[in-house]
Amino acid sequence: MSAPTALLPPPPPPPVASPPSLAQRPWQPLIWTLLLGTFLTRAAGFVYPYLALHLAGHGIPHVSTVLALFGAGWLAGQVVSGTLADRIGRRATLAGALLTAAGVFPLLAHTNSLLALSAAAFISGACYDAPRPVVTALIADTITDESARARIAGWRHFAVNLGAATTGAVGGLLIQPLGTAALFTLNAVVYGLVAVVVLLTVPPAGVTHRAASQRHGRHEAFADPRLWLLWLASLCGLIPVAALFSSLPLMMQRDGLSAAAYGQTQVVSAVAVLVLSPLLNPWLARRAAGARPLVGTLALGALILGAGIGSAGFASTSAGYAAAAAAAVPGEIILFVAASDICNRISPPHLRGQYAGIWGTTLAAAVIGAPLLAGWATATGGDHLVGLTTLGCGFLGAALCLPLAALLHRPAAYPHIPSVSHV
């Protein structure tokens, strides 16, 4: 005879699956669109790497002027696009920059007048990397979890490098039969197509951030000492990255190595990025999930970059230079993700674009500063001094993380500046 029902124990509740964390949830379609757009604009970004070759028929002073104006436009475009992203909205700024580039790249390709070339170079430089701060702000608007942001930042850096590798491969195949003008036109077409995708997929700007941006002082970001310490530390860490493209080929040439040997170092560097990014991204995402910004991780990235590229000053063979380029790659990945994490945490929502734009000038400044520093070091002490100064830049970047960490731990000392959460 069975026991009475009243005496039976209640059945256990069905197991409830715990919801995935924010970092484990599938990314929104907008994030995939931004990553794909980043890859496409970099994969078709022929204007910058082939501009000097396109200008080869002009005199050296004219070429130097045009290239310098492109760099100046690149630097100014970061701040302008970041500020406009907060003022007029992310979609309008991103689509506007892409469409402007689509219109001016053909002018750069087909004009011969020095005045027209100079103007086109400056505008092209301003638009070429203008999407960077806008995409940064869009990702921060869309994703609130720091671990997920760090993972996306890592894959975004992967997309940039995969795109750059594609640029070199495709450009190398097409430049002989088609010429640089056709490559610049193709660059314009791709930018125009990405602009259309942006208009169709990116939501219109909300009035909240724009109103807040207009209500607060427009110089709020420029008055934040944390941003400037982050800027200086990043600049010191990125000078070795720029040296990979400015100092390294000259050192290899002085050692009697061919241009093909330099190309091999670029291939090794690109392969290292593609291999190491999937390995480092999960580790960086776990660190970003912690309570503190990735200041120590930023210092580590700067040290690895300085030591990696700095070791090239003591190399004399193709294998030695390739090893130096590969050794710096982990530092490059770490620095970009860590700097993005810190910038996201210190920037208030209504000024995310401006903060990202100011930080985005670091790469342009490094492109300007690296050859100047290498030129002085070469004239003073040769390649060994170039290596030591590059190493010193990495150490200085790491040292600047100490006062940055102190500021992030003492937000009460700066009541006019938004405090960092979870510090």
Of the pLDDT bands very low, low, confident and very high (cuts 50, 70, 90), residue 19 is very low
Q: How many other C-beta atoms are found inside a 10 Å radius of the C-beta of residue 258?
A: 11
CA dist., res. 408 & res. 18, Å (int):
34
- Identify the pLDDT of residue 16: 46
Which stretches of 55-110 are DSSP H helices? 60-87, 90-110
Of the candidate ranges 1-5, 185-189, 271-275, 354-358, the one whose mean pLDDT is the lowest? 1-5
Of the candidate ranges 55-64, 86-95, 228-237, 364-373, the one whose mean pLDDT is the lowest? 55-64
Q: What is the mean pLDDT of residues 341-348?
A: 92
- Identify the pLDDT of residue 411: 55
Q: Residue 20 in 3-state DSSP?
A: coil
pLDDT at 62 over 70: yes
pLDDT at 241 over 80: yes
> What percent of the chain shows pLDDT beyond 90?
53
CA dist., res. 67 & res. 77, Å (int):
15
**Higher-pLDDT residue of 163, 63:** 163
Of the pLDDT bands very low, low, confident and very high (cuts 50, 70, 90), residue 307 is very high
Of the pLDDT bands very low, low, confident and very high (cuts 50, 70, 90), residue 414 is very low
Tokens at residue 336, please?
């970009």
Cβ–Cβ < 8 Å for 111, 62: no
- Identify the pLDDT of residue 11: 55
Cβ–Cβ < 8 Å for 117, 184: no
pLDDT at 297 over 70: yes
CA dist., res. 284 & res. 151, Å (int):
7
Q: Ramachandran region of residue 3, left (φ > 0), alpha (ψ -120 to 50) or beta?
A: beta
- Identify the pLDDT of residue 330: 95
Listed in sequence order, the residues at least 6 apart from 79 whose beta carbon sits closer than 8 Å to its beta carbon are 354, 357, 358, 360, 361
Range ranked top by mean pLDDT from 47-56, 144-153, 387-396: 387-396
**Higher-pLDDT residue of 112, 23:** 112
- Identify the pLDDT of residue 218: 57
Q: Mean of the per-residue pLDDT values for the chain?
A: 85
CA dist., res. 245 & res. 238, Å (int):
12
User: What angle do helix axes 131-142 and 90-110 make, rounded to 10 degrees?
Assistant: 160
Angle at 342 between CA 391 and CA 273, to 5 degrees: 55
Range ranked top by mean pLDDT from 24-33, 167-176, 395-404: 395-404
Q: Residue 262 in 3-state DSSP?
A: helix
| Structure confidence by residue, pLDDT tens digits, 37-61 | 999 999 999 998 888 888 877 766 7
CA dist., res. 269 & res. 253, Å (int):
18
How is 202-246 classified by DSSP, letter by letter? SPPPPHHHHHHHHHS-TTTGGG-HHHHHHHHHHHHHHHHHHHHHH
Q: What is the mean pLDDT of residues 387-408?
A: 95
- Identify the pLDDT of residue 217: 46
- Identify the pLDDT of residue 161: 87
Query: Of 327, 330, 322, which is closest to residue 264 (Cα–Cα)?
Result: 322
- Identify the pLDDT of residue 175: 85
How is 101-165 classified by DSSP, letter by letter? HHHHHHHHHH---HHHHHHHHHHHHHHHTTHHHHHHHHHHHH---HHHHHHHHHHHHHHHHHHHH
pLDDT at 267 over 70: yes
